[in-house]
Structure 1
């Protein structure tokens, strides 16, 4: 469950940023395959359902909205069905989140909510995923990003709430290779957070790549 060292780093960073409750939810959602149901022929309805929860910050914050909605519905399978959310995946998320909370407690992480301060959440995610940072190419008409570390071409995955939004700076959770390299589970960041999160890593880069 915590095989992913990046997620572990995010959970540890959440203590510093005072957003461990939110990060445990996000970590649990990232541990399941997908919380969406894809129904053949219902892509439009699924897209509309995603828009109900979507936030400008990206997928991770969107997951928080879905989790909140699910809990407020008293974990209702009807609510899931109506919103194209996978009920069994959400039950699994709750189970994993409980395990993560116990681990966090054991290692002395203070369980605390940031009360809607999504910058804290995004900074904690950046602390773990700084090496997955990407920058939108200045003159790109098709949403092409370059990874900061290796200058590889990548694109936002169509399943992301940031697909076609193309914010300037993002970090991603994973890459899917199809006809293009797609970033899955993407969140917007401020590039200055990268040097805060990993000064040794980013100070070696040319200063001009780190400007806004």
Structure 2
């Protein structure tokens, strides 16, 4: 799925951004969890939070880290895992070398978040979920299997509950939680995977 996203990003002209996102998704979390300081973490997250969701938020964090000179103090102040971000930088460099060997030249979309989300959908279209119109407590159903899922509390979209989302992975505890979530326009699903989706499978009332 990541590979398909990277190839789509090359076509769409947002490969620079997607290489960063792919590298961030390779680590468990870029945030530190300090017992008793969750309120501080939540407040700091708002400084980086993007309305589009977690993937764009990750871009904002990465940009801040690079602009800080890859400072460990900057990470400590912002509840960010310094070692995780160092690994992200290394992974991103590896990915960049790999795509260049394949003849791809990374380009930036200069902040066009719609293009970034379309690239992600190209790889993760089967991970789409739809907010239940009459569901309780932000319940979603996956379009693929109608599984009951929820946005994970660590997501910047927790309690925002966009009508349509695409997630990176599912984590199961007491419920099935979607990790790393972005808000999408459902028409992009049909555009990205017309053979997988048909209009009749998507509830037009929620467009």
- Give the TM-score normalised by the residue count of structure 2: 0.97
Question: Over aligned residue pairs, what C-alpha RMSD do you find?
Answer: 1.1
Structure 2 SS opposite 1:121: helix
Structure 1 unaligned residues grouped into runs of 5+:
1-5
Confirm whether residue 209 of structure 1 aligns to residue 186 of structure 2: no
What displacement does 1:179 show? 0.5
Q: Which of 24, 43, 68 is residue 73 of structure 1 equivalent to?
A: 68
Q: What is the aligned partner in structure 2 of residue 3 from structure 1?
A: none
Structure 1 SS opposite 2:196: helix
Q: What is the aligned partner in structure 2 of residue 190 from structure 1?
A: 185
What displacement does 1:140 show? 2.3
Structure 2 SS opposite 1:44: helix
Q: What is the aligned partner in structure 2 of residue 164 from structure 1?
A: 159
Structure 2 unaligned residues grouped into runs of 5+:
none
Q: What is the aligned partner in structure 1 of residue 121 from structure 2?
A: 126
Confirm whether residue 148 of structure 1 aligns to residue 143 of structure 2: yes
Structure 1 runs (4+) greater than 3 angstroms displaced: none
- Give the TM-score normalised by the residue count of structure 1: 0.95
Gap change, CA 1:143 and 1:91, over 3 Å in 2: same
Q: What is the aligned partner in structure 1 of residue 29 from structure 2?
A: 34
Q: Distance in 2 between matches of 1:208 and 1:173?
A: 20
Q: Distance in 2 between matches of 1:198 and 1:208?
A: 13
What displacement does 1:207 show? 4.9
Matched pairs, number: 206
What displacement does 1:129 show? 0.3
